[in-house]
Structure 1
């Protein structure tokens, strides 16, 4: 098939050289007759070729009928992207697309030298690709002139709003001429996107190539539910099982990215990290190593990997579940691009299976739930891929065939094959064993019990001996439950007394007055010799070899404990509550002894009829309050206050006297001044 004639001739040749035979849905939609020359509001799936779509859509506005772009001091088109990586990727795509048109394309992104970007703009650039913050900075400084802009493209507009670039976008769009053409590309059209389209676009044509009824046909979704402690091991096994030449692992935080990248590097994977804390040079170097094949695994966050296009990316692993279904689609959209097949694997813990189900349901995705590949499954997959090894794929070299026969005659065919497999396994990262030596099973990791089945008490499992304790010896210490014996302080005490470590102690059986513990056979002689040495601590602790008799009970003469009745014979909760209520009501009507009589002398004896306060006091004396109050004195008997010291304004303060300070700091000047009486002996 040939490319449509509606593509500008200057771009058709570049597409043919790149291997384009047909256009994707979104690329064909922007070339439709009703979309020609109109503002566009486009929503399409990730990996559908949106960069080429808006590149060929704005070609008539930039070139017109010309084959080459003339020199222009001011840019003719502006492309805005949310992240640095996406902006640089768009610049690379437009560079080969407009190569025959002679277009100069410059970038303006954060983390790069702004002076170099300004010099590139001064030399003349037809298309500027940048991030909102850096573009606004250049406009405010006068380095970027938008007076000649003919087309503006907003790529991943929904993400720019999520990152908080609303004010920057409105400033840039408000600085551009109104007769421009605005192309808005977004994976989802939210209310904010619709408001921007209504404000800054004129009669925009709505284009949507997203199929809401079915998922991306080129991406297969797989979910592996594992114990939370095995998530990192499961990621390693998934990478080894699929053997993808390029893989992308998503983590939720920068700390998770650093931890996962370090773990993969220690296991022998050629991995790089991609997060927001890296400089632009480090991020560019990491992506270039993936494109060159020097690295096979990239561990990244959502923001850092937004919109990046890695050729040959066959596998995407979600080590941490995304926050919402849109993020899940964006993550998975890094694979299965331009018609290629891809796999998206979600590694989730048992305690997050419900969340994974909701994410898939909200994104309208059908996924296959299966167990994570263990070490044996990875080795079996390696044997299946053995035929694809370069040593078997190429033609046989006749010159070295005699050497091969000589080696076979010398060592035998079986030994040569074993040596080849051993060398192959040595060069590959070793798979991880899942669920081995991982501690006790947590509650969320147990198999769910059917609620409809009757509850049956499980029998106690027989204790299996630990590895290395086949010839062990049991010892006994005279401490048990009566002394509140617990393993957390018994084990350190045993290690201190016998000069052993915790790995040398096996099972511990705590009785009522004594405790038995197991010592590995290799340390029995050393343990007994250490018990005979003088101690600085625990002199009263007695440790000896345990006999065959069971541990001594608490009190042999004590009466047997009362047996608990069967479950069916016990009273229910309602009966127990009713019985308790009856006992409380009966207690209210019990005969109680009379309250003791108390002889209380009434107050107020000796009061005068005129209301003066006079009553019983020590020694029969009356209160001083019997005298008339100050307010009962005639007004003329009061002594006037003298005018105090001058105030801040220099005038004397009439009617009040300043209070003295209560200490060097002045004290509280609001306290009441007390007039002290002179002592009689003075």
Structure 2
């Protein structure tokens, strides 16, 4: 067994690793660190989750000189990954007083300018913002001795090829170059061949192709059935925290809106969102205010999301390695997970290719029927009933039973109550309780559903004005307003929710009478 102290890392880095409780390197770290410490160029085939950040960060930090000039440059495809890498390097280099600065879009550039002006040793950034600083003259690459391309395949997919080449051409020819990629398409290999010198090839993908604790299944449906099929699967599975992958940003937007319109607590994340919106989406998902995160592959790179119970491939990825990357989001840290794919008949061959490449079985299941969904709801109802019995505090209800028991059998009364409650659930007529979780609203707020949206030319000011005028609630008390193409969500304080529903229903917004209801949480 190899340990970090045997790899040749500097003492301050080893102290930081001991502080963090790291003793044994992962396979990619054990292979890459000695090679990079020796100064060789590297082409590493390693998927996210294998420890690749430390594989390049630790040798970089061990080789830095004390001068506060940019000596190492790490390029990453997304803001999230750039921040994650920078934070990791700061933790690893804290005993060496390493100066690390992330540069990316969506953050005020003045903060980055001040940091660069104070002097840094490592710059971690997205290609666009790195080039911006180069043009401003605030980032000079004359002393760069190490360049890392992290998630190279994703950077090329996002159209950064020319930017990457421009940046590499401005760095010294004698630099060390390391390229880390989850997949190795021809474009990545071509870039590697042109900008590395006698690079050492490292691969751990064959050892990490599947997530052993993740059960993999698929349902075959027609394209027109896909949304309804997804909803049935969600109703039967009732995931606590699920990521749903789509092929494009437009697909993710459409699916997110469809799920929200059907009452699911869903959020969408992709590259078109502003940084504040991305942070808000991730906060809601991590805190359990949204159960479903609809994402594209690129947006999901670098996101640190623990405890995902389900991964759902709404669109099957184009290659086996992307599939493995997706399903690796669940079944982590010793937990079990479930990976579900929805495929069309034309995609059967793709599933077969994934099975052969990953040497794993993806089980075909029959799509849940409406009867299955109803049975799951009844099961959930029984679980909820047992929980109420455990909690106690039933005296007022026992008095009601005793009063009615004079003319009816107790078993008949219980059966009638169950029928009444279950019919409400199955018909989706019940409203979320004001004391409940607010269908994903912030603490102390309730989320309302309005059947008007962008297509009706509705603006946030229209919503705020209508609530203020019709209900008398000051605009400052109104919470988040999310306007979609055909509907809108608005958050209002708990104690005003029923007044808003009554007062706003039927009011004209942009010439259309609006219907208002409580946003329903997914039945679970």
Do Structure 1 and Structure 2 share a fold, with TM-score over 0.5?
yes
Which residue is equivalent to 2:4?
Answer: 4
Say which SS state the counterpart of residue 293 (structure 2) adopts. Answer: strand
Alignment of 1:538-549 (within 5 A): none
1:185 deviates by 0.6
- Asked if residue 138 in structure 1 is aligned to residue 133 in structure 2, the reply is yes
Say which SS state the counterpart of residue 64 (structure 2) adopts. Answer: helix
1:356 deviates by 4.1
Alignment of 1:469-480 (within 5 A): none
The Cα offsets for residues 554-578 of structure 1, whole Å up to 9 and x where unpaired, read as xxxxxxxxxxxxxxxxxxxxxxxxx
Distance in 2 of aligned mates of 1:36 and 1:388:
59
Q: 1:210 to 1:383 in 2, by over 3 A?
A: farther
- Asked if residue 260 in structure 1 is aligned to residue 255 in structure 2, the reply is yes
Which residue is equivalent to 1:42?
Answer: 44
Which residue is equivalent to 1:51?
Answer: 53
Distance in 1 of aligned mates of 2:299 and 2:427:
27
Which residue is equivalent to 1:164?
Answer: 159
Alignment of 1:313-328 (within 5 A): 313-328=308-323
Alignment of 1:271-420 (within 5 A): 271-337=266-332, 340-350=335-345, 352-358=347-353, 360-361=355-356, 365-378=360-373, 380-381=375-376, 392=387, 403-404=393-394, 407-408=397-398, 410-411=400-401
Which residue is equivalent to 2:206?
Answer: 211
Distance in 2 of aligned mates of 1:320 and 1:274:
16
Distance in 2 of aligned mates of 1:52 and 1:422:
57
Distance in 1 of aligned mates of 2:137 and 2:395:
76
Q: 1:407 to 1:16 in 2, by over 3 A?
A: farther
1:112 deviates by 3.5
Q: 1:43 to 1:33 in 2, by over 3 A?
A: closer
- Asked if residue 251 in structure 1 is aligned to residue 241 in structure 2, the reply is no
Distance in 1 of aligned mates of 2:199 and 2:383:
52
Say which SS state the counterpart of residue 304 (structure 1) adopts. Answer: helix
* RCO higher in structure (CA 8 A, sep ≥6): 2
Which residue is equivalent to 1:28?
Answer: 30
Alignment partner of 1:229 out of 224, 227, 244? 224
Alignment of 1:421-432 (within 5 A): none
Distance in 2 of aligned mates of 1:290 and 1:16:
32
Contact 1:48 1:338 in 2 (8 A): no
Contact 1:267 1:429 in 2 (8 A): no
Distance in 2 of aligned mates of 1:96 and 1:425:
55
Distance in 2 of aligned mates of 1:257 and 1:34:
39
Contact 1:155 1:186 in 2 (8 A): yes
The Cα offsets for residues 370-404 of structure 1, whole Å up to 9 and x where unpaired, read as 1123344345556767898798599x77xxx5x44
TM-score normalised by length of structure 1: 0.54
Q: 1:429 to 1:328 in 2, by over 3 A?
A: farther
Distance in 1 of aligned mates of 2:149 and 2:111:
24
1:124 deviates by 2.5
Contact 1:317 1:344 in 2 (8 A): yes
Q: 1:419 to 1:299 in 2, by over 3 A?
A: farther
Say which SS state the counterpart of residue 299 (structure 2) adopts. Answer: coil
Alignment partner of 1:182 out of 177, 182, 199? 177
Contact 2:269 2:278 in 1 (8 A): yes
1:142 deviates by 0.9
CA RMSD of aligned residues (A): 3.9
1:276 deviates by 3.0
Structure 1 unaligned segments of length 5 or more: list them.
64-69, 431-682
Distance in 1 of aligned mates of 2:414 and 2:176:
69
Say which SS state the counterpart of residue 221 (structure 1) adopts. Answer: strand
1:248 deviates by 1.1
Say which SS state the counterpart of residue 282 (structure 2) adopts. Answer: helix
1:145 deviates by 1.5
Say which SS state the counterpart of residue 264 (structure 2) adopts. Answer: coil
Q: 1:386 to 1:175 in 2, by over 3 A?
A: farther
- Asked if residue 102 in structure 1 is aligned to residue 97 in structure 2, the reply is yes
Q: 1:278 to 1:45 in 2, by over 3 A?
A: closer
The Cα offsets for residues 259-289 of structure 1, whole Å up to 9 and x where unpaired, read as 2112222333221111233223222322232
Say which SS state the counterpart of residue 5 (structure 1) adopts. Answer: helix
Q: Which has the higher helix share?
A: 2
1:81 deviates by 0.9
Q: 1:351 to 1:309 in 2, by over 3 A?
A: same
The Cα offsets for residues 16-39 of structure 1, whole Å up to 9 and x where unpaired, read as 555546432212222447964433
Which residue is equivalent to 1:445?
Answer: none
Distance in 2 of aligned mates of 1:424 and 1:2:
58
Which residue is equivalent to 1:147?
Answer: 142
Contact 2:16 2:92 in 1 (8 A): yes
Contact 2:310 2:337 in 1 (8 A): yes
Distance in 2 of aligned mates of 1:54 and 1:428:
53
Say which SS state the counterpart of residue 30 (structure 1) adopts. Answer: helix
**Number of residues paired by the alignment?**
419
Contact 1:39 1:203 in 2 (8 A): yes
Q: Which has the higher strand share?
A: 2
Say which SS state the counterpart of residue 330 (structure 1) adopts. Answer: helix
Contact 1:237 1:374 in 2 (8 A): yes
Contact 2:374 2:426 in 1 (8 A): no
1:80 deviates by 0.4
Which residue is equivalent to 1:124?
Answer: 119
Q: 1:115 to 1:393 in 2, by over 3 A?
A: same
Distance in 1 of aligned mates of 2:26 and 2:422:
41
Contact 1:214 1:365 in 2 (8 A): no
Distance in 2 of aligned mates of 1:102 and 1:417:
69
Distance in 2 of aligned mates of 1:393 and 1:97:
48
Larger gyration radius, structure 1 or structure 2: 1
Contact 2:209 2:358 in 1 (8 A): no
Contact 1:81 1:160 in 2 (8 A): yes
TM-score normalised by length of structure 2: 0.68
The Cα offsets for residues 399-447 of structure 1, whole Å up to 9 and x where unpaired, read as xx5x4467446537866799699879989997xxxxxxxxxxxxxxxxx
Distance in 2 of aligned mates of 1:39 and 1:418:
73
